[in-house]
Structure 1
Amino acid sequence: MKVYAQFRAPVDWHADLDPADVEALRSSLLALFDGWAAPVLELLHHGTAFVHRPLYVLPAHHTWGHVPGVTLLGDAAHLMPPLGVGANLAMLEGAELAEAVATCPGDLDEAVRAFEERMWARAGRWATMTMAGLERLVSPDPAEAIALFDEVQPS
């Protein structure tokens, strides 16, 4: 079984710890989750390896100047929090770009540029939503985060 713990910390929070020293890493993680329910903490007590995987994102409305003959899709174009959107966008973008290229009646670069504009608008909206979701999921105040989720639930 693998367990993932997500928390806000400086990217080098573990710099003074030896990655091979499982007990030191466990103690550090247990301190971060001090006060959490015993069943959750028990998961950390049984860990035999800990891997640091920082989360990187691009700004929500990231764009670039068009380069003839080149474009980006998926995470390369709009890296966002992993909340179930990025891979779906990448597949949709691949299909849309293929259609734009296949049905291009004239200037291929103009078709790609138009595709990029549509992609940026949609990805920007989704990136904004996933950033808000990440803020809720990794909140310094879990009770406040739950309240925010309650606000957005359909009635």
Structure 2
Amino acid sequence: MTSKKACLVFVPKLAALAQTVSSWLSEDGAEVCVVEIEPVEADAIRGGDYDQNVAVQACVDDADVCIFLLGDENTDEVLAAAGKVAASKRRVVVVVGEGASLPQIFDDAADAVVNATTPGLREVILGKDIRQLPDGSIAPQRVPARVKCQ
């Protein structure tokens, strides 16, 4: 990941993991932007007021890879907000903390989805694309939903 820019968005409960992930990215030569997202900010973004949170907007717009650390608190609000930016053409990595669920927006947009306790978490953060189920097992090959032309 040398000379790439990474955006790391996380919920307050996963602040310690965010610090670890940020260190891994920096050690690998990435320029890292770190943003903690609170429920109030998430609601504004979900409501279409993406410009309200300048820090999130600048971080995501300037990144080659976006990493979302999701916990069990404020899940609906945070996931809705993150889903707005996950639909971009950037590499999207989702790390799901204990008790958190993965909504469809991330299932569709993520290049990698892993549990926060995955032994190979560093490799996934640094570029390996794998998809896991909440129990840590590898997810079956998925068939993306496609809209049929008429």
TM-score if structure 2 supplies the norm length? 0.27
Larger Rg: 1
Structure with more of its chain in strand, by fraction: 2
TM-score if structure 1 supplies the norm length? 0.26
Structure with more of its chain in helix, by fraction: 1
